[in-house]
């Protein structure tokens, strides 16, 4: 075994040869074999025993991951390899496949230039396969494909060579369709994968063998040889002739780009600053002598070292003790230490040049997506997560002495994983923790109780709803408590195209950043005058200043934005977040003396008329939906359909392949609790099922009054929804 410190010494030497660096992630649907594949690469680099590769799951080093056999976070490692007489550095990220932890995949894609897409030969391209590929392409990370578990086609499904090849071709064709669908025009053709171009490999990560056309040509192995070895179970012989790590390295170094190539086309997409500035030029060139431009893609809270930000360095050279600018904090912070990751271990290094993935230790106030630079530069595009928290639990400490510690732990967890949302309800003293699904919340509970030793009581899962409006309303006038300031407000539903642009993250939160964002809103259907007047984007709502010639408007704008955001964060119907609303301030009268225009006056003067206008426009609840994919033997199909329909589910599609039926349905999240156990019972445990979040849809009218009352009572509010006039007094 090779000591990690020695490996790091080698890594440090290789960091400076940008042509031979590959920043890549392994991505896949859950249980398709990512972490198992990573083991073989680690064994090749000398970090784990070759005998343990495929079983150890070295990158799943957290207790929860080991206990549940599932990856829950993105893990980094830097590995040195020699290939064809050249030394290469692979900065590798092993990502989760479960939908509840998809946020880690989204953030990891910002750091890498290419991905190894792992596809299970039996299951084929599954929903999360499509999602992670879409995420990679959005960040301009080029894919290559490894079709895993090929031996199962022979030993379990008993397929002959022709049927086996047909199954493999089907998976490759599906991947190429997705690349055509999601890739930008310049890459739709050049990023296509095939056996012939060497961007597709097949094999078994567990049995540690892999094969591709270049490897077949080098070793003399044929498809018939592979079939015979699998049928006979002689995987060790296959592994000796064609180790899986060789085929993966071959694909990575031959077909995935180095930082010098990738940054030329990635930077214009993920950074909208001026490319002619020193920072812009040095990032496009991946210049180690240029300005430091670093993006944090993951943050962990280390009890000894403080905040540790892992991310990609696009230009410059990181050195210990540097003072660097944090774009979100508007101030500089000193780097205490620089490190590279070896799975669970963080090993200190003296410096890291451009084109690499590294960790900054002791930088306070950093968050995922943060731009960290040598001097002030335009921030990188916000990292937009594909889905958002849909399930909430109330968490309370059993022992009041643990309350302060619980608050600290929840804040730490929310910082490490931005897809966790934590809210303190002052009226009830509850801590509401929202996550991507039941599994996500189970992990949060596990960490609180097992890792931090806090005994907690939790409520049953609560669904996260949203509020939206049906019609336009206003103008409604709001007055400050001192009656010296007045605002007239209108509300209307956002144009569908503009709403889609906000949801897709093409226009970031906060004030619109430059003309690009305004033009995107106009192109999406928002009237030009409205788009030019946008002052704030928050939770997929916009605040527009439509006033003309009102004195002191600029002086109160920050307070108007604050009041608008407070109203959008907790709507008037059920104190849930508002979505898809355009709020316009159409007129205002302000006191000339600033002392009469403070927060205590302006905030209620804007928040109350917004509430009145929303209620007048007709507020309704949106409920989250999930798309379920259930594969079941044909004889259980009727039972599955009954389960779906008994949960307000809507059938979307049904396909049949041999003895198996796939049911695709849309089910409200509120009806999915306990669905797994019901499915197991209905299918005698023989169903394979999976879900993905599918956005929000209007709650049926007959359920709204009941649900609104339940939410209001849970939040300590009076059960009856207030009338608009209550906010106009």
Q: Which domains does the chain have, with CATH numbers?
A: 4-259 (3.40.50.300), 270-373 (2.40.30.10), 391-464 (3.30.70.870), 467-617 (3.30.230.10), 621-698 (3.30.70.240)
Q: Residues 273, 274, 280, CA angle at the centre, nearest 5°? A: 85
Q: What band does 50 get if pLDDT is binned at 50, 70 and 90?
A: low
Residue 102: CA count within 13 A, CB half-sphere: 26
* Model pLDDT, residue 411: 83
Q: What band does 74 get if pLDDT is binned at 50, 70 and 90?
A: low
Quick check: 62 pLDDT over 60? no
Alpha helix ranges (H) inside 139-233: 150-155, 161-182, 213-219, 223-232
Whole-angstrom distance, CA of residue 228 vs CA of residue 222: 10
Q: What is the mean pLDDT of residues 454-475?
A: 88
* Model pLDDT, residue 234: 86
- CB-based contacts of 683: which residues, under 8 Å, 6+ apart? 632, 633, 636, 639, 640
Whole-angstrom distance, CA of residue 655 vs CA of residue 630: 11
Helix (H, G, I), strand (E, B) or coil at 182: helix
Lowest-confidence range among 201-215, 403-417, 464-478, 527-541? 403-417
* Model pLDDT, residue 558: 93
Q: What is the mean pLDDT of residues 305-321?
A: 89
* Model pLDDT, residue 693: 79
Helix (H, G, I), strand (E, B) or coil at 432: strand
Q: What is the pLDDT of residues 346-358, one digit of tens each?
A: 888 888 999 999 9
Helix (H, G, I), strand (E, B) or coil at 413: helix
- Between 332 and 116, the more confident residue is 116
Q: What is the pLDDT of residues 162-189, one digit of tens each?
A: 888 888 999 999 999 999 999 999 999 9
Q: What is the pLDDT of residues 421-431, one digit of tens each?
A: 887 765 555 68
Q: What is the pLDDT of residues 15-28, one digit of tens each?
A: 889 999 999 998 98
Beta bridge partners of 210: 203
Q: What is the pLDDT of residues 223-281, one digit of tens each?
A: 888 888 888 888 888 888 888 888 888 899 999 999 999 999 999 998 988 889 999 99
Quick check: 9 pLDDT over 50? yes
* Model pLDDT, residue 434: 83
Quick check: 404 pLDDT over 90? no
Whole-angstrom distance, CA of residue 335 vs CA of residue 360: 6
Q: What is the mean pLDDT of residues 522-536?
A: 92
By DSSP bridging, strand 200-204 and strand 209-211 are antiparallel
Whole-angstrom distance, CA of residue 107 vs CA of residue 385: 8
Beta bridge partners of 89: 21, 80
Quick check: 46 pLDDT over 60? no
* Model pLDDT, residue 238: 87
Question: Do the beta carbons of residue 144 and residue 132 sit within 8 Å?
Answer: no
Dihedral-angle region of residue 497 (phi above 0 means left; psi in -120 to 50 means alpha; beta otherwise): alpha
Question: Do the beta carbons of residue 591 and residue 550 sit within 8 Å?
Answer: no
Question: Do the beta carbons of residue 528 and residue 515 sit within 8 Å?
Answer: no
Whole-angstrom distance, CA of residue 419 vs CA of residue 30: 18
Whole-angstrom distance, CA of residue 420 vs CA of residue 391: 10
- Between 393 and 467, the more confident residue is 467
The torsion angles phi and psi of 41, rounded to 5 degrees, stand at -70, -40
* Model pLDDT, residue 583: 96
Question: Do the beta carbons of residue 114 and residue 257 sit within 8 Å?
Answer: yes
Q: Which of 237-241, 437-441, 524-528, 625-629 is predicted most confidently? A: 524-528
* Model pLDDT, residue 426: 58
Q: What band does 729 get if pLDDT is binned at 50, 70 and 90?
A: low
Is-cis flag, bond preceding 475, omega within 30?
A: yes
* Model pLDDT, residue 63: 53
* Model pLDDT, residue 65: 45
- Between 194 and 443, the more confident residue is 194
Question: Do the beta carbons of residue 468 and residue 619 sit within 8 Å?
Answer: yes
Question: Do the beta carbons of residue 582 and residue 472 sit within 8 Å?
Answer: no
Whole-angstrom distance, CA of residue 399 vs CA of residue 452: 14
Lowest-confidence range among 70-74, 521-525, 550-554, 718-722? 70-74
Quick check: 54 pLDDT over 60? no
* Model pLDDT, residue 304: 75
Count Cβ neighbours within 10 Å for each residue of 686-718 and write b for 16 or more, e otherwise: ebbbbbbbbebeebeeeebeebbbebbebbeee
* Model pLDDT, residue 315: 94
Quick check: 194 pLDDT over 80? yes
Q: What band does 2 get if pLDDT is binned at 50, 70 and 90?
A: very low
- Between 678 and 498, the more confident residue is 498
* Model pLDDT, residue 7: 61
* Model pLDDT, residue 562: 94
Q: What is the mean pLDDT of residues 413-419?
A: 80
Question: Do the beta carbons of residue 719 and residue 711 sit within 8 Å?
Answer: no
* Model pLDDT, residue 421: 83
Q: What is the mean pLDDT of the chain?
A: 85
Element (H, E) at 368: none
Q: What is the mean pLDDT of residues 111-116?
A: 94
Q: What is the mean pLDDT of residues 706-724?
A: 89
- R_g over Cα of the chain: 27
Helices (H) and strands (E) in the chain, counts: 23, 33
pLDDT > 90 fraction of the chain, expressed in percent and rounded: 35
Q: What band does 45 get if pLDDT is binned at 50, 70 and 90?
A: low
Quick check: 525 pLDDT over 80? yes
């Amino acid at each position: 075994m090779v000591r990690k410190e020695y490996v790091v010494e080698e890594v440090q030497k290789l960091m400076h040869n940008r042509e031979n660096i590959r920043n890549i992630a392994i991505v896949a649907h859950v249980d398709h074999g990512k972490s198992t594949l990573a083991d073989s690469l680690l064994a090749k680099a000398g970090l784990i025993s070759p005998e343990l590769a495929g079983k150890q799951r070295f990158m799943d080093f957290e207790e929860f991951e080991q206990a549940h056999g599932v990856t829950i976070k993105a893990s980094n490692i830097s590995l040195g390899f020699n290939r064809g007489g050249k030394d290469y550095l692979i900065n590798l990220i092993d990502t989760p496949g479960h939908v509840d932890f998809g946020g880690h995949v989204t953030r990891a894609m910002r750091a890498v230039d290419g991905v190894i897409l792992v596809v299970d030969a039996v299951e084929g391209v599954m929903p999360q396969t499509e999602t992670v590929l879409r995420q990679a392409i959005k960040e301009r990370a080029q894919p290559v494909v490894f079709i895993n578990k090929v031996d199962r086609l022979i030993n379990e499904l008993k397929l002959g060579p022709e049927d086996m090849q047909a199954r493999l071709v089907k998976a490759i064709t599906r991947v190429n369709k997705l690349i055509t669908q999601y890739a930008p025009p310049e890459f739709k053709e050049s990023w296509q994968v095939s056996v012939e171009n060497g961007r597709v490999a097949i094999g078994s990560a567990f049995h540690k063998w892999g094969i591709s056309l270049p490897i077949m040509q080098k070793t003399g192995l044929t498809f018939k040889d592979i079939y015979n070895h699998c049928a006979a179970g002689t995987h060790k012989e296959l592994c000796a002739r064609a180790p899986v790590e060789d085929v993966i390295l071959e694909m990575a170094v031959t077909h995935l780009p180095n930082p010098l190539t990738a940054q030329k086309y990635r930077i214009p997409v993920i950074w909208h600053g001026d490319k002619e500035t020193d920072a812009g030029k040095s990032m496009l060139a991946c210049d180690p002598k240029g300005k430091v431009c670093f993006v944090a893609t993951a943050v962990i809270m280390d009890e000894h070292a403080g905040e540790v930000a892992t991310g990609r360095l696009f230009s410059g050279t990181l050195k210990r003790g540097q003072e660097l600018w944090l774009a979100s904090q508007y101030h500089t912070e000193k780097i205490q230490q620089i490190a590279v990751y070896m799975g669970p271990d963080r090993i200190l290094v003296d410096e890291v040049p451009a084109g690499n993935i590294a960790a900054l230790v002791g930088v306070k106030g950093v968050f995922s997506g943060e731009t960290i630079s040598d001097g002030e530069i335009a921030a990188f595009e916000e990292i937009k997560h594909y889905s958002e928290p849909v399930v909430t639990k109330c968490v309370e400490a059993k022992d009041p002495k643990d309350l302060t510690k619980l608050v600290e732990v929840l804040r730490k967890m929310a910082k490490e994983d931005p897809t966790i949302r934590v809210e303190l309800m002052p009226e009830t003293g509850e801590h509401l923790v929202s996550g991507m699904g039941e599994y996500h919340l189970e992990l949060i509970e596990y960490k609180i109780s097992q890792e931090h030793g806090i005994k907690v009581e939790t409520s049953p899962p609560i669904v996260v709803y949203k509020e939206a409006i049906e019609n336009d309303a206003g103008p409604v006038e709001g007055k400050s408590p001192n009656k010296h300031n007045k605002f007239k407000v209108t509300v209307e539903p956002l144009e569908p195209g503009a709403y889609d642009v906000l949801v897709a993250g093409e226009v970031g939160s906060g004030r619109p950043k430059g003309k690009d964002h305004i033009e995107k809103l106009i192109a999406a259907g928002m009237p030009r005058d409205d788009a030019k007047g946008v002052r704030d984007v928050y939770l997929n709502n916009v605040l527009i200043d439509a006033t003309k010639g009102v004195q002191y408007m600029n002086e109160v704008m920050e307070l108007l934005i604050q009041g608008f955001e407070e109203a959008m964060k907790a709507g008037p119907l059920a104190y849930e977040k508002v979505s898809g609303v355009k709020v316009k301030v159409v007129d205002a009268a302000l006191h000339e003396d600033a002392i009469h225009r403070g927060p205590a006056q302006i905030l209620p003067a804007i928040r109350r008329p917004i509430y009145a206008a929303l209620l007048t426009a007709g507020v309704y609840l949106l409920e989250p939906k999930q798309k379920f994919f259930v594969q079941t033997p044909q004889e259980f199909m009727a039972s599955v359909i009954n389960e779906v329909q008994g949960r307000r589910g809507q059938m979307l599609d049904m396909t049949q392949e041999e003895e198996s039926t796939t049911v695709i349905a849309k089910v409200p999240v509120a009806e999915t609790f306990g669905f797994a156990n019901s499915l197991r019972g209905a299918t005698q445990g023989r169903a394979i099922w999976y879900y993905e979040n599918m956005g929000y849809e209007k709650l049926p009218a007959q359920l709204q009054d009941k649900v609104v009352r339940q939410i209001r009572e849970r939040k300590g509010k009076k059960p009856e929804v207030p009338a608009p006039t209550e906010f106009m007094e």
